């Protein structure tokens, strides 16, 4: 944290920050204008039309039924309405940018619990209350909570999102300045809420690569997920290599991101929340052609383990239905991970491109 | 028209009509019930204010050196619960509304005097439950009771606190019901809807919100109690519930509840501004209908509390635009009040000072609401001190300033005594200055990124926090002084005439304090309300 002198605007360190600040400036101008106008009018009227004993005013009580009165009412309804519609559209346009992670984002997983942030990088590195990211790269956080509501807030990036138990929310940003910035939990979460804080370190590409390399030796998230997959015996029903895709459970190859037809009519897109639900509450949505035989894995799997399992299922998707040899280190995980240290200019190429 | 009946001996009025504790505790007189409420609500205001003092003391330094985290969390929770459920919601309707509504419409009482007394007892029952929580260890969920923290993880007395708010809600419902029936059925002959004082319109709109909204919070809190007590899953994912469902239900009531707290204040301001300008409010029908519009649209904006709660972006858009639309009637009111002063005979007596303070602070409170309604900006400032500041500008700058304006305006009518003109003006000035110094820095803190409900905070936020705490001490003084001179006036204040300010609504046409039956002869209305043609401006001070 660099020593900050007294400031009224926090450091702007993301691509969205200047957009938010611009809207803020516009709204301050509008608010200042109307506040001063009202303040001026009531003070001016209070002085000019102050009561003087014995002086009867010669006012004819103007009212809204006179033409002038009606025009006034319309004017001071229409002008605020017009200005507020500008604010509405402007606010929405920023929100749509803020709430939709670009497709080429680098993914990082966040688990909140009372009272710490656990960060999991796909390459395997994990950290607590610290988040190291490269500068000028789209970063997407997929977040969940082990207990109560939390909220991952980085004022310098002007963005936050609630972190909920039992489902996944996302947040993205593109840091534009190297440095370190506060992470705050912004949703009240109990006794030590105000110490559920941390730091984002925005590093240059080479520095980030070095940092990531220091953590190498750990297995990637997908590999750890595969170990869990085997340990929990998921493959007994789901592993296509054993039963050639005709097991008791649906084939998971290529399932992530696809649309799954359900037994009770309808369909669902297989995203993180769907995978989680299918493991925790298997009876909630039965895939067409299968029976309700899967037991719940609730209580057998931590939230972090769940994220690893999801990452593994995602990696199967990238094999595009090809049989998975089930061996760790088969190379499949590399495809999901943007190679660390790749030059910024080619960020588009960092995306795991799914060709079907 | 002031009828000159020379007060030879103490006139019979509602205060001296009967004596003894029983005559108060079993009274069915709306004016006496209003005073019962005044006493209870004042006690809760002091309690809530005490918690506010603790908060500001703690936040004067970045470290948690006065209170531990657990205590701090309980303190801000109890500040919120007490101030919202036991002070702001009942303050103006149950005290001033109760006292004035029948008087303003020329009625002898509310439609259901016994239900009115019942509502006070229900409120007191809730107050006893709330006080029990305070005395036995408190609760730390925040006044918003968000699940699953409240339903599963909190260690405090959540069920008892929820029960207190639940019971208090029934008191609101009974009051609202009583007001609606009274306005429909008890108006004096000739008092048509468009001759009603704007205070009555505001209370009518408030009552509609009370009876439509309060049952929803009752159900929500009941579900919370079931989940907490019996582990029946509604909100906690561990039991198969949905935590965001709680937020929807909670804000479906609690956003309209903000209008329960502000609409009556707006009614007060309309009366005070008109009286002290000796002029009909500009745009009477626009002010009246803007109250109704706020009551209706207020029910459609709750989702603006959920822009970062994983709510769909398209749902968010709808809530955002409706929030801008609900802001328009408030803007209309502010412009109309200002225009009322134009070519009036403006007298800056104490109630008017509070009313002008209200207009200034509510304007800022309303405008900063527009910041929060802009989705892209909301993401940055929601759950920060920006929200705290905005909320207090509306609730204290609006709600409490309106309450103080009303209390000073009708105090002579309620007690038949005048209070110190000088001290009351000093206090009004202190409240205005202290309030701004307390809460304006919090807007800046919020944009800097300081989250709300933080017990300890990074050192770069200290300067603004110290300013805020300094302001709070001035504000506390500003609230303390009226407590002294108002109490003093009850015994030593000069006798108040029937119409000390030169008001034209019906309550000024009966004696101060009014007789038990309000009017010796039922008034018959043949004229517009706010007709100042024959009203002399009285000499004051």
Q: Are residues A251 and A298 in the same domain?
A: yes
> Is residue A119 classed as helix, strand or coil in its secondary structure?
strand
Which chain A residues contact residue B379 at CB under 8 A? 20, 95, 98-99, 158-161
**Cα–Cα distance, B327 to B325 (Å, whole number):** 5
DSSP state of B299: G
Beta strand A150-154 with A159-163 is antiparallel
CB contact under 8 A, B463 and A193: no
Q: Are residues A181 and A227 in the same domain?
A: no
The count of other CB atoms within 10 Å of the CB of residue A223 is 20
Q: Is residue A256 part of a domain?
A: yes
Q: Are residues A253 and A193 in the same domain?
A: no
Give B56's contacts (C-beta < 8 A, 6+ positions apart). B438, B468, B469, B472, B473
Which chain A residue shows the shortest CA-CA distance from B242?
A166
Band of residue A321 on the pLDDT scale cut at 50, 70, 90: very low
Q: Is residue A227 part of a domain?
A: yes
Per the CB < 8 A criterion, the answer to whether B157 and B491 are in contact is no
Structure confidence at residue A214 (pLDDT) = 81
Q: How many domains does chain A have?
A: 2
Structure tokens at B444: 């800046």
Q: Are residues A168 and A130 in the same domain?
A: yes
Radius of gyration of chain B (CA): 23
**Cα–Cα distance, B304 to B317 (Å, whole number):** 9
DSSP state of B304: G
Per the CB < 8 A criterion, the answer to whether A239 and A226 are in contact is no
> Is residue A138 classed as helix, strand or coil in its secondary structure?
strand
Taking Cα atoms as reference points, which of B374, B195, B358 lies closest to residue B285?
B195
Structure confidence at residue A64 (pLDDT) = 54
Secondary structure (DSSP) of B11-76:
PP-TTTSS-SHHHHHT---HHHHHHHHHHHHHHHHHHHHHHHHHHHHHTTSSS--SS-HHHHHHHH
Band of residue A342 on the pLDDT scale cut at 50, 70, 90: very low
Q: What are phi and psi of A127, to 5 degrees?
A: -145, 165
Q: What is the pLDDT of residues A55-81, one digit of tens each?
A: 766 656 555 567 788 898 899 999 999
Partner A contacted by B149 (CB < 8 A): yes
Band of residue A8 on the pLDDT scale cut at 50, 70, 90: confident
From A84, A99, A148, residue closest to B327, measured CB to CB? A84
Structure tokens at B240: 């198969």
Taking Cα atoms as reference points, which of B225, B80, B195 lies closest to residue B143?
B80
Exposed / middle / buried, residue A329 (Cβ in 10 Å: 0-12, 13-18, 19+): exposed
Q: Is residue A8 part of a domain?
A: no
Partner A contacted by B83 (CB < 8 A): no
Give B67's contacts (C-beta < 8 A, 6+ positions apart). B54, B58, B75, B455
Query: What are the helix (H) ranges across B231-312?
Result: 243-277, 284-297
- With residues binned 3-state (H G I as helix, E B as strand, rest as coil), the percentages for chain A, rounded to 5, are 40, 20, 40
| Order of strands, sheet of A116-121, starting from the edge strand that comes earlier in the sequence | A126-128, A116-121, A106-113, A138-145, A169-174
Structure confidence at residue A61 (pLDDT) = 57
Which chain A residues contact residue B336 at CB under 8 A? 73
Q: Are residues A176 and A238 in the same domain?
A: no
Taking Cα atoms as reference points, which of A220, A7, A192 lies closest to residue A116?
A192
Tell whether the model's pLDDT for residue A157 goes beyond 50: yes
Q: What is the 3-state secondary structure (H, E, C) of B403-472?
A: HHHHHHHHHHHHHCECCCHHHHHHHHHHHHHHHHHHHHHHHHHHHHCCECCCCCCCHHHHHHHHHHHHHH
* Among candidate residues A214, A248, A275, the one where a domain is terminated: A214
Structure confidence at residue A352 (pLDDT) = 38
**Cα–Cα distance, B38 to B490 (Å, whole number):** 14
Bridge partners, B528 (sequence order): none
**Cα–Cα distance, A315 to A222 (Å, whole number):** 7
Least confident of A89-93, A96-100, A346-350, B419-423: A346-350
Q: Does domain B24-509 have CATH number 1.20.210.10?
A: yes
**Cα–Cα distance, B520 to B510 (Å, whole number):** 8
Q: What are phi and psi of A182, to 5 degrees?
A: -65, 140
Taking Cα atoms as reference points, which of B69, B62, B53, B77 lies closest to residue B464?
B62
* Among candidate residues A191, A214, A237, the one where a domain is terminated: A214
| Phi-psi map region of A354: left, alpha, beta (phi>0 left; psi -120 to 50 alpha) | beta
Domain limits, chain B: 24-509
Band of residue A298 on the pLDDT scale cut at 50, 70, 90: confident
Q: Are residues A186 and A247 in the same domain?
A: no
Q: Are residues A132 and A206 in the same domain?
A: yes
Partner A contacted by B313 (CB < 8 A): yes
* CATH number of residue A288's parent domain: 1.10.760.10
Structure confidence at residue A276 (pLDDT) = 87
Which chain B residues contact residue A190 at CB under 8 A? 73, 140, 149, 153-154
CA-CA-CA-CA torsion for A22, A28, A34, A36, nearest 10 degrees?
-140
**Cα–Cα distance, B29 to B109 (Å, whole number):** 7
Q: What is the pLDDT of residues A160-194, one digit of tens each?
A: 999 999 899 999 999 999 999 999 999 999 999 99
* CATH number of residue A175's parent domain: 2.60.40.420
Per the CB < 8 A criterion, the answer to whether B89 and B98 are in contact is no
Give B8's contacts (C-beta < 8 A, 6+ positions apart). none
Q: Are residues A337 and A235 in the same domain?
A: yes
* Among candidate residues A184, A214, A244, the one where a domain is terminated: A214
Structure tokens at B15: 């205060």
Q: Is residue A95 part of a domain?
A: no
Q: Are residues A337 and A227 in the same domain?
A: yes
The total number of residues shown for chain B amounts to 541
Partner A contacted by B17 (CB < 8 A): no
Q: Is residue A356 part of a domain?
A: no
Task: Identify the domain containing residue A296 by its residue range.
Answer: 221-341
Taking Cα atoms as reference points, which of A253, A201, A213, A204 lies closest to residue A124?
A213
CB contact under 8 A, B316 and A87: no
Q: Are residues A186 and A295 in the same domain?
A: no
Structure confidence at residue A353 (pLDDT) = 36
From B313, B324, B335, residue closest to A76, measured CB to CB? B335
pLDDT, tens digit only, all 541 positions of chain B: 444 454 445 678 999 989 999 999 999 999 999 999 999 999 999 999 999 999 999 999 999 999 999 999 999 999 999 999 999 999 999 999 999 999 999 999 999 999 999 999 999 999 999 999 999 989 999 999 999 999 999 988 999 999 999 999 999 999 999 999 999 999 999 999 999 999 999 999 999 999 999 999 999 999 999 999 999 999 998 888 999 999 999 999 999 999 999 999 999 999 999 999 999 999 999 999 999 999 999 999 999 999 999 999 999 999 999 999 999 999 999 999 999 999 889 999 999 999 999 999 999 999 999 999 999 999 999 999 999 999 999 999 999 999 999 999 999 999 999 999 999 999 999 999 999 999 999 999 999 999 999 999 999 999 999 999 999 999 999 999 999 999 999 999 999 999 999 999 999 999 999 999 999 889 999 888 898 888 888 877 5
Per the CB < 8 A criterion, the answer to whether A203 and A178 are in contact is yes
Q: Is residue A38 part of a domain?
A: no
Q: Which of residues 175-234 of B touch A (CB under 8 A)?
A: none
Q: Is residue A64 part of a domain?
A: no
The count of other CB atoms within 10 Å of the CB of residue A241 is 12
Least confident of A89-103, A214-228, B250-264, B303-317: A214-228
Q: What are phi and psi of B85, to 5 degrees?
A: -80, -25
Q: Is residue A264 part of a domain?
A: yes
Q: Are residues A144 and A186 in the same domain?
A: yes
Q: Are residues A332 and A268 in the same domain?
A: yes
């Amino acid at each position: 944290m660099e020593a900050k002198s007294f400031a009224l605007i926090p450091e702007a360190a993301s691509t969205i920050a200047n957009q938010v600040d611009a809207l803020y400036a516009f709204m301050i101008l509008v608010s200042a204008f109307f506040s001063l106008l009202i303040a001026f009018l009531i003070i001016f009227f209070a002085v000019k039309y102050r009561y003087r004993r014995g002086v009867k005013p010669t006012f004819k009580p103007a009212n809204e039924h006179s033409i002038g009165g009606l025009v006034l009412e319309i004017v001071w309804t229409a002008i605020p309405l017009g200005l507020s519609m500008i604010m509405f559209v402007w606010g929405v346009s920023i929100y749509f940018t803020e709430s939709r992670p670009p497709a080429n984002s680098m993914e990082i997983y966040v688990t909140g619990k009372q009272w710490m942030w656990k960060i999991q990088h796909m390459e395997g590195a994990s950290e607590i209350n610290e988040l190291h990211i490269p500068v000028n790269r789209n970063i997407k956080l997929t977040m969940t909570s082990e207990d109560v509501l939390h909220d991952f807030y980085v004022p310098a990036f002007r963005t936050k999102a609630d972190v909920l138990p039992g489902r996944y929310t996302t947040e993205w940003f593109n840091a534009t300045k190297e440095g370190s910035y506060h992470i705050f939990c912004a949703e009240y979460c109990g006794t030590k809420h105000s110490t559920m804080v941390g730091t984002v370190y925005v590093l240059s590409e080479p520095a980030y690569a070095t940092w990531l390399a220091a953590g190498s030796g750990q297995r990637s998230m997908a590999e750890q997920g595969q170990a869990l997959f085997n340990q929990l015996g998921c493959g007994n029903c789901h592993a296509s290599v054993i039963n050639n895709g005709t097991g008791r459970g649906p084939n998971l190859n290529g399932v992530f991101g696809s649309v799954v037809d359900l037994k009770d009519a309808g369909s669902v897109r297989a995203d993180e929340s769907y995978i989680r639900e299918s493991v925790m509450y298997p009876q909630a949505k039965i895939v067409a052609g299968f029976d309700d035989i899967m037991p719940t894995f609730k209580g057998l799997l931590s939230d972090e383990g769940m994220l690893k399992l999801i990452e593994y299922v995602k990696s199967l998707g990238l094999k595009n239905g090809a049989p998975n040899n089930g061996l760790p280190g088969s190379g499949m995980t590399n495809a999901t991970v943007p190679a660390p240290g790749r030059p910024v200019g080619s960020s588009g190429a960092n995306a795991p491109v799914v060709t079907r | 028209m002031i009828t000159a009946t020379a007060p030879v001996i103490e006139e019979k009025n509602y205060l001296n009509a009967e004596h003894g504790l029983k005559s108060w505790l079993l009274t069915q007189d709306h004016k006496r019930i209003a005073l019962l409420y005044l006493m209870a609500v004042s006690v809760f205001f002091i309690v809530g204010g005490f918690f506010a003092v603790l908060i500001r003391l703690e936040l004067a330094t970045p470290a948690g050196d006065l209170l531990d985290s657990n205590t701090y969390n309980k303190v801000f929770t109890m500040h919120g619960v007490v101030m919202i459920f036991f002070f702001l919601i009942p303050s103006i309707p149950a005290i001033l509304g109760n006292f004035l509504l029948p008087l303003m419409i020329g009625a002898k009482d509310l439609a259901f005097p016994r239900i009115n007394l019942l509502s006070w007892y229900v409120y007191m029952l809730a107050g006893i439950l709330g006080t029990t929580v305070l005395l036995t260890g408190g609760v730390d969920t925040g006044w918003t009771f968000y699940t699953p923290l409240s339903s599963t993880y909190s260690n405090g007395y959540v069920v008892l606190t929820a029960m207190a708010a639940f019971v208090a809600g029934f008191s609101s419902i009974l009051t609202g019901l009583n007001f609606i029936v009274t306005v429909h059925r008890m108006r004096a002959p000739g008092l048509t809807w468009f001759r009603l004082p704007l205070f009555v319109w505001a209370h009518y709109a408030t009552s509609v919100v009370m009876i439509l909204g309060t049952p929803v919070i009752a159900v929500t809190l009941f579900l919370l109690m079931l989940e907490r007590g019996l582990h029946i899953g509604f909100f906690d994912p561990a039991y198969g519930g949905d935590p965001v469902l709680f937020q929807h239900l909670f804000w479906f009531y609690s956003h309209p509840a903000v209008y329960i707290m502000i609409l009556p204040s707006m009614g007060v301001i309309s009366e005070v501004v008109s009286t002290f300008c000796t002029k009909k409010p500009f745009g009477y029908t626009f002010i009246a209908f803007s109250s109704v519009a706020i009551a209706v649209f207020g029910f459609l904006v709750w989702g603006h509390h959920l822009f970062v709660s994983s709510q769909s972006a398209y749902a968010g858009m709808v809530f955002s635009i409706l929030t801008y639309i609900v802001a328009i009637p408030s803007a209309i009111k502010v412009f109309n009040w200002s225009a009322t002063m134009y070519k009036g005979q403006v007298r800056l007596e104490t109630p008017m000072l509070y009313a002008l303070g209200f207009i200034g602070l509510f304007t800022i409170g309303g405008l900063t609401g527009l910041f929060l309604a802009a989705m892209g900006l909301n993401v940055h400032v929601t759950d920060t001190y920006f929200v705290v500041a905005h909320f207090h500008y509306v609730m204290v700058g609006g709600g409490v300033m309106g309450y103080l304006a009303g209390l000073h305006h009708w105090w002579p009518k309620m007690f038949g005594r005048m209070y110190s003109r000088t001290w009351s003006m000093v206090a009004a000035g202190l409240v205005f200055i202290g309030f701004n110094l307390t809460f304006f820095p919090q807007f800046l803190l919020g944009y800097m990124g300081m989250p709300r409900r933080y017990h300890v905070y990074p050192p770069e936020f200290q300067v603004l926090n110290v300013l805020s705490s300094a302001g709070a001490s001035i504000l506390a003084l500003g609230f303390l002084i009226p407590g002294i001179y108002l109490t003093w006036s009850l015994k030593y204040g000069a006798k108040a005439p029937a119409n000390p300010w030169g008001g034209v609504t019906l309550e000024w046409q009966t004696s101060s304090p009014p007789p038990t039956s309000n009017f010796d002869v039922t008034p018959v209305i043949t004229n517009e309300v706010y007709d100042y043609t024959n009203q002399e401006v009285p000499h004051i001070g």
